[in-house]
Amino acid sequence: MIIIGANVGYLTAAKTDESNENYTPYYAVEPIMKYIDKKLKVWLPFDEEWSAYYNTFKDNGYDVIRSCIQECQDFFTYEPEEYDVIVSNPPFNVKDKILKRLDELGKPFAILLPMNSLQGASRYKCCFKNGIQLLAFDQRIGFHSQDKMDEPIEGSPFASAYFCRNVLPKDLIVEELIKYKKPLINNNRR
């Protein structure tokens, strides 16, 4: 039986711990970066030194703090002493817990999540009722595997957007993603 209009890619996508390890390409960091004031200290709570977020923000002169669970800095228990805004691509399998923690921290944030994260009674109660902004795109982001950071796998089974609070100039912005896709200058990045 074929269901007309069904997102077969999303319905058949892997839902394992390994499939949760998808990394943001450099071209998907730039659209949010332009909304983050360079005077702000940016915390990247899910990022190692090789991440596109860390390298893109650092290479563009931002004051950046990064942390990751691999270095015993768990987002749910760790918080830097001083920062102004949180930006990252968190693990999607714990998005409800992450959104609750972001709400508790009370800082501006911009996190990349699947668009279907917009729906959900528990998300509304814990986070969205206090206001949410979206930076969405005209096409889907292709994500990287950890060992191929310069080769995004296009054709993602889901649409993504930046879910923000107190970052964007208006509540909904939709941008053309293609203008950010360009050859990488630094091919030494992992």
Q: What is the pLDDT of residue 9?
A: 38
- In the structure encoding, which two tokens stand for residue 151, read together? 């080769």
Give the separation between CA 140 and CA 71, rounded to whole angstroms.
31
Domains within the chain, CATH numbers bracketed: 16-180 (3.40.50.150)
Q: Which residues pair with 186 in a beta bridge?
A: none
> Is the Cβ–Cβ distance between 109 and 133 less than 8 Å?
no
pTM above 0.85, yes or no: no
Between 38 and 119, name the one with better pLDDT: 38
Give the start-end residues of each E strand in 29-171. Answer: 41-44, 63-66, 85-88, 109-114, 133-137, 160-165
What's the pLDDT tens digit per position in 74-96?
899 999 999 999 999 998 888 88
10, pLDDT greater than 90: no
Q: What is the pLDDT of residue 184?
A: 45
Q: What is the pLDDT of residue 168?
A: 97
51, pLDDT greater than 80: yes
What letter would DSSP give residue 24? Answer: -
What's the pLDDT tens digit per position in 98-107?
999 999 999 9
